[in-house]
Amino acid sequence: MTLDVSVAVVGAGPVGATLATALAARGIRAAVIDAAPLPPMEMPEFDGRCYAISRGSRPLLEDAGIWEHLPEPPCPIETIQVADGEPGRPPSRLGLTFRAAETDVDAFGWMVEARSLRVALNARLPALPSLSVFAPATAQVLERGPDGVRLRLSTGQEITARLLVAAEGRASPLRRAAGIAVDRLDYHRMGMVGAFAHEYPHGNQALEMFLPNGPFAQLPLAEPPAGSPFPHASAFVWSDRTAIAQRMMALDDAAFSRELARRVGDALGQVALVGRRWAYPLKAMHAARYTAERLALVGDAAHGIHPIAGQGLNLGFHDATSLAALVAEALDAGEDPGSPALLARYQAARRPKTVAMLGATHALERLFGNSFGPIRLARRLGIAAVDRIGPLKQAFARAAMG
């Protein structure tokens, strides 16, 4: 029997699954389809991958009932310290410190383990009566035209929908099939991510250190996994030249921990890698359009940015917030949730904001990835100046909250 829904979401990664949940939590009939089985995505072991969820993303997760299902407490980021530095040397004293308390909020954002978010999503997806989940399954588009969309799943199930959402990540087959072009930029760097345990408390402070080959971020975690050698833990996002990153990834855990220590400095005492470490090539990408007939792109299917500002996933959450609100508004008004007018509103709401974020992260990467002496000095003075100019500092703080 054909299943008829308002919205069919292809891809149940963090963005697609959150969007489907947010729609269904409002009583909107939706289906979500993922090529991979969902339970293995919530691996039982701590794996070191974490997300910085900005203040602006939290309401989406709360309204969708996901936040309350997080199995471990998210760690608030109350202070962000920005500094210029070099491996093995203390950060420049011309730094910049953002304190949430100075901006009248309790936190800029929260650190959440990727596994924790998956556990919460997997708990929420089957609990919503207006949501149908198909995983593992793939979807073939039989028809995408003025009247709607018709899909046939690999399970044999047929689905009709008013709106199709591509949430299958960077390689998005739906985006490609719609002929939407993509701009790409290769930073020729790799991002290494993971977690480490440390001797002294982090005080819910994050450090963004601009090293000559790329930024290094330490982000506070609520607690270390069981059996850690030290009582506190943080995540790291370390971007470096590809050849160096490959060398680092080939080191054993003890040698890698020593390299981490050279970048983190002394403030956290002794450090040791915990869980796995991951590396991925840093490439920005951006779809020329976020929509086609009856189709909307969300998350990494639409954009991929440098991790320098930790906003990659948050951009996807903002896509989901915007699209869920537009669809709900249309349905409340008895209108078509996949109409050209709605899709134009979605693109107008999201694409310029993502362009601005892509531009800002690119400029930061270029400015801070430069070790030429005069530029480094100007950068250090600039950082110190921002620290003293209240309104400018406030503007940066608001951007960090997403």
Q: Using CB under 6 A, list all residues that contact ligand FAD.
A: 10-16, 33-36, 49-51, 138, 167-169, 173, 193, 237, 278, 280, 299-300, 310, 312-313, 316
Name the helix (H) or strand (E) containing 239: strand 232-241
Distance (Å, whole) CA 192 – CA 282: 10
Least distance from ligand FAD to the Cβ atom of residue 337, Å: 20
CB of 304 to ligand FAD, least distance (A): 7
Residue 341, Cβ density class (10 Å: 0-12 exposed, 13-18 middle, ≥19 buried): exposed
Residue whose structure tokens are 């489907």: 20
By beta-carbon proximity to ligand FAD, the closer residue of 317 and 368 is 317
Element (H, E) at 365: helix 340-368
- Residue 325 tokens, joined: 């609100």
Least distance in angstroms from the C-beta of 86 to ligand FAD: 24
Smaller CB distance to ligand FAD: residue 72 or 86?
Answer: 72
How far is CA 65 from its chain centroid? 19
Q: Smaller CB distance to ligand FAD: residue 301 or 383? A: 301
| Least distance in angstroms from the C-beta of 301 to ligand FAD | 6
User: What is the spatial distance between Cα 11 and Cα 172, in angstroms, rounded to a whole number?
Assistant: 9
Residue of minimal CB distance from ligand FAD? 13
Count of Cβ atoms closer than 10 Å to residue 107 Cβ: 19
Whichever of 242 and 371 has its CB closer to ligand FAD, that residue is: 242
* Structural contact between residues 135 and 154, judged by C-beta atoms closer than 8 angstroms: no
| Whole-angstrom distance, CA of residue 309 vs CA of residue 356 | 13
**Which residues make Cβ contacts (< 8 Å) with residue 50, sequence separation at least 6?**
111, 112, 113, 114, 193, 195, 219, 221, 235
Shortest Å, Cβ 63 to ligand FAD: 18
The smaller minimum CB distance to ligand FAD, of residues 28 and 133, is found at 133
Q: 300 or 393, CB closer to ligand FAD? A: 300
Tell me the closest approach of the beta carbon of residue 139 to ligand FAD, in angstroms.
Answer: 6
Q: Residue holding tokens 């992260």?
A: 361
| Burial tier of 234 (Cβ tally within 10 Å: 0-12, 13-18, 19+) | buried
CA distance 194 to 225: 12
Q: Given the complex with ligand FAD, which of 277 and 379 has the nearer CB atom?
A: 277
When the beta carbons of 28 and 167 are compared against ligand FAD, the nearer one is: 167
User: Minimal distance in Å, beta carbon 154 to ligand FAD?
Assistant: 9
Say if residues 133 and 125 touch (Cβ distance below 8 Å). yes
Whole-number Å distance between alpha carbons of 164 and 169: 15
**CB of residue 307 to ligand FAD, shortest distance in Å:** 6
CB of 93 vs ligand FAD, minimal distance in Å: 29
CA distance 320 to 132: 18
- Residue number with CB closer to ligand FAD (25 or 137): 137
Q: What is the DSSP string of 42-53?
A: S-SS--S-EEEE
